[in-house]
Amino acid sequence: MPESMTGAQYLARSLVEYGVTHVFFMEAVGRHTLIELEALGVTRIMAHSEKAAAYMADGYARATGRVGVCMAQSVGAANLAAGLQDAYLARSPVLAVTGHKPIPQLHRNAYQEVDHRPLFAAVTRFSASVETAPELPFLLRQAMREASAPTPLPVHLDLAGLTAELVERGEVTEPVVAETRHGRAPAYRSMPDAEDVAAAARLIDAAERPIAVLGAGAVVGAAAQPLRALAASGIPIAYGLDAKGLIEDSLDPVVGVVGNYSAPYANRIVHEADLVLYVGSDTSDMSTGNWRVVRPDAVVVQIDADATELARNFPGAHGLLGDAGLALTALVERLGRRDRSAWCERAMSLRREWLAEVEPLRKSSASPITVERLCSELERVLPANALLVADTGHSGIWTGTHVALTRPGQRYLRAAGSLGWSLPASLGAQAALPDTPVVCFCGDGAFYYHLPELETARRWNIPVTVVVNNNSALGQDIPGVREAYGGRNGRTQDLTLFEPVDFARVTEGFGCRGVRVEDPGDIAPAIEAGIASGVPNVVDVATDPEPRAPAAWFPPA
């Protein structure tokens, strides 16, 4: 007879077999499973909101490639689903577990219950209801397969019971069979068709001004090594924000971030290219400048592990279906040698001109502090093995354009669009990588979202260093609000400005280390001391709300 166990024991043992080291949750859910996980050595981190728990699991997943796990009870399912939006947009492998009331209570106005299916449909690849414990083995294995696919995405299991207790207490007679390769994404890496590779190589060899643009798929495919070979062959390298850090910004001919969050010169270089090689990029509006930056007559070659992405936004693009790292390695081996030194010099000269233009701001001693100076100081002291986690909006633009990652060990994660994502995500990443200095960069508007998670950081001594660009405003929105007013009299400040707050004092109230910086000369020492402290800490930098982050260049309509 096979060993009998409870659903909670089965779920806990399976997660451990898949390599899960942490779970992030909001009480009350999965109590029996959490008890079993404790006995198996898994760290259980309770957050202050379901959304924060989802962001923590997302940060854990992106930092490690392992499936991140988050949990919430029935009434918290809607909040947990909202937190999966960023993971879905960023193609992150996250398993969300919720509870739901059993079938006899559904459709009868059950207390705190709404239909979970539509909540998770838009933010997961796979979502299933688990009504009885014997269903758990099959559905858990399928969820992990779906999460760890060549293009990873979040998945969801909805367990019967307000806190999932009916499935937890049920009996499972199957042995634990965890397909452990599915604990990490991608579980499978495929090679592209050889003829497609040869055809792509011929197109690139024929191009006078080719450029490569990287996306998240290049990170999933661990494509750094073939990218360095591609750069050495004389092909400029650009990237969307989701691929920053994969190749050092200090290498020539690395262009930097392109698209809607780019420095002005970068889109111009892509626009001058006669061939664009997209590597693991979803070719979204953000990475392509609303699909305007690539010239209509340019050749497009696209590498992607998902066949549905090939030629999605560029009809007629030559597609290579396969893992970005393997496909690019095969492609580089087929490329001929061609002198493109003039093209590379053109790209690098535009970059140098812009860097010279902004250098006075990066050295400015002005007060309030310029954000360019803040980024310059952060770049200077960022450790060689650091993980920089940036929020959305201006935080992404500032760090994308003004913080160069120049060492192979430096990495970067960014919000896919959810304001406030960075603090919980950085906690998840730091929990997963205890020996890596994790630095979170966010504005005060983003920091307000999940301030209570400072208590979580203190409770578990998660030593994240949070750098707050504190301009007492939603600075990115100020021009848009003024434009909307169109010269009319009114209180524009009601839509964008906050009261000044000293976040260092707030941080100390949570029992964490806080430092307020108002002199630019104090930025670097404060960040260095924060990283060295080994405790959760906040560096609150008083900056000017008026200057805008760099504006991207777009070709004339």
pLDDT in tens, 402-456: 999 999 999 999 999 999 999 999 999 999 999 999 999 999 999 999 999 999 9
User: Are 211 and 255 contacting, i.e. CB atoms less than 8 angstroms apart?
Assistant: yes
Q: Specify the CATH number for the domain of residue 215.
A: 3.40.50.1220
Q: Provide CB contacts within 8 A for 48, sequence distance 6+.
A: 26, 450, 452, 453, 455, 456
Asked whether residue 222 falls in the same domain as residue 271, the answer is: yes
Asked whether residue 329 falls in the same domain as residue 450, the answer is: no
How far is 265 from 185, CA to CA, in rounded Å?
A: 34
In a domain, 556, yes or no: no
Asked whether residue 450 falls in the same domain as residue 520, the answer is: yes
Asked whether residue 506 falls in the same domain as residue 441, the answer is: yes
Looking at residues 258-264, what average pLDDT do you find?
A: 95
Looking at residues 390-404, what average pLDDT do you find?
A: 96
Asked whether residue 282 falls in the same domain as residue 200, the answer is: yes
Question: What is each CA distance from 318 to 285, 303, 321, in whole angstroms?
Answer: 20, 9, 10
Q: In the prediction, which pLDDT does 386 show?
A: 98
Of 163, 183, 203, the last residue of a domain is: 183
- How does residue 2 score in pLDDT terms, banded at 50, 70 and 90? low
Interval 163-175: pLDDT, tens:
999 999 999 999 9
Of 347, 378, 411, the last residue of a domain is: 347
Looking at residues 340-351, what average pLDDT do you find?
A: 97
Q: Provide CB contacts within 8 A for 425, sequence distance 6+.
A: 55, 56, 58, 59, 62, 389, 413, 415, 440
In a domain, 202, yes or no: yes
Q: In the prediction, which pLDDT does 394 show?
A: 93
Strand, helix or coil for residue 98? strand
Residue 14 has pLDDT above 60, yes or no: yes
- How does residue 457 score in pLDDT terms, banded at 50, 70 and 90? very high
Asked whether residue 335 falls in the same domain as residue 434, the answer is: no
- How does residue 250 score in pLDDT terms, banded at 50, 70 and 90? very high
Looking at residues 136-152, what average pLDDT do you find?
A: 98
Among 110-114, 412-416, 514-518, name the one with the lowest average pLDDT.
Answer: 110-114
Residue 106 has pLDDT above 90, yes or no: no
Strand, helix or coil for residue 482? helix
Residue 288 has pLDDT above 90, yes or no: yes
When divided into structural domains, the chain yields a total of: 3
Q: What percent of the chain has pLDDT over 70?
A: 100
Strand, helix or coil for residue 473? strand
Range of the domain at 513: 363-542
In a domain, 279, yes or no: yes
Looking at residues 69-73, what average pLDDT do you find?
A: 97
| Mean per-residue pLDDT of the chain | 96
In a domain, 548, yes or no: no
User: Are 196 and 326 contacting, i.e. CB atoms less than 8 angstroms apart?
Assistant: no
Instruction: Output DSSP code: residue 475.
Output: G
How far is 71 from 96, CA to CA, in rounded Å?
A: 6
Q: Specify the CATH number for the domain of residue 459.
A: 3.40.50.970
How far is 387 from 429, CA to CA, in rounded Å?
A: 9
Asked whether residue 177 falls in the same domain as residue 209, the answer is: no
How far is 414 from 431, CA to CA, in rounded Å?
A: 17
In a domain, 549, yes or no: no
Interval 473-511: pLDDT, tens:
988 888 889 889 998 999 988 999 999 999 999 999 999
In a domain, 357, yes or no: no
Looking at residues 59-87, what average pLDDT do you find?
A: 97
Interval 217-229: pLDDT, tens:
999 999 999 999 9
Asked whether residue 203 falls in the same domain as residue 332, the answer is: yes
Of 134, 150, 183, the last residue of a domain is: 183
Asked whether residue 51 falls in the same domain as residue 163, the answer is: yes
Q: For residue 376, which phi and psi values (nearest 5 degrees)?
A: -60, -45
Q: In the prediction, which pLDDT does 328 show?
A: 98
Asked whether residue 273 falls in the same domain as residue 297, the answer is: yes
Interval 17-66: pLDDT, tens:
999 999 999 999 999 999 999 999 999 999 999 999 999 999 999 999 99
In a domain, 552, yes or no: no
Looking at residues 267-283, what average pLDDT do you find?
A: 97
Asked whether residue 172 falls in the same domain as residue 203, the answer is: no
Asked whether residue 329 falls in the same domain as residue 420, the answer is: no
Q: In the prediction, which pLDDT does 105 show?
A: 76
In a domain, 354, yes or no: no
Give, in degrees to the nearest 5, the angle at Cα 420 between 391 and 184.
70
If you count them, how many residues does the chain have?
A: 557
